[in-house]
Amino acid sequence: MNSGQVRSGLIIVDKPQGWTSHDVVGRLRKLAGTRKVGHAGTLDPMATGVLVIGINKATRLLTYIVGTSKTYEATIRLGQSTVTDDAEGEVTAETIAAAVTDEEIMAAVAALTGDIQQIPSSVSAIKVNGERSYARVRAGAEVNLPPRPVTVSRFEVHDIRREAGGKLRDVDVTVDCSSGTYIRALARDLGAALGVGGHLTALRRTCVGPYSLAQAATLEQLAADLQVLELDDAARALFPVRELTAAEATDLSHGRRIAPSDTANDDGAPVAAFAPSGTLVGLLENRGPSGGDFPAAYAKALLVFAPGNEAA
């Protein structure tokens, strides 16, 4: 199925509403002419926006992209709770939210900002005893997921307005958050803190790590012109960069250890290593002394993308 016409790289998709992430992967397999396609983090069918797709060798970058921070634009409705914590689920409770003040909303938002413990939505893809949580909920089972630490670095309110004759309140927000944060759960918890319930009515992901809507294309646009962010450019945007000598590029591509990287992050993130030609050779990590032939620190490849004759 691989025609060889599409090189390895990332495709930044502006996912349409109603499509699953798996649907998008299936569509891109046909457009790219290869089965080696994957995505870096699921978007719910209701959500739109940035979905990062890896093609061929670039699928090996997806693990690192999944763990990056995300940015969302969302609308939270106060006064209604749903079984899914979003607008696609059945309403389970309604409470008149007319008395909730803007000041109370802002205070509750502030309490959900920073390092928090969040219970994921029960209709998430988290596995419980080998089965997806959402599948258990749809089968009628009760699911109680444990809280997990997440970071909401920005929870900014843009607009608060009254709906349904004032009975409901809609809140437009921007959220910057760590990987693993559920915006549906933020909507649920905001409503719970205010005593009126809440759910998500709109969600648009605008950034995944360094990749944003400015780089994204719709499926219609991609069908006309398959825009691929080349593997080398994708890695330069995602990781610290080390420029190798020709000898280092050859050594690294053959699995040999080289001198440690000065560009390594304190958080232990890999370093993207490039040959003098500009080709991505691999991802490096620094390691401490191992004794024997390696009494000093060194760098070792986590992944190798280019063979020696291609790297040089």
Residues annotated catalytic, as ranges: 44
Say what the alpha-carbon torsion angle 252, 257, 258, 259 is, to the nearest 10 degrees: 150
Cβ contacts of 270 within 8 Å, gap of 6 or more: 64, 239, 283, 284, 285, 302, 303
Q: Are 220 and 193 in contact (CB under 8 A)?
A: no
The residue among 288, 287, 280, 273 whose CA lies nearest residue 310 is: 280
**Number of separate helices (H) and strands (E) present in the chain:** 9, 18
Strand partners of residue 229: 10
Q: Which is it for the CA torsion 192, 194, 195, 198, positive or negative?
A: negative
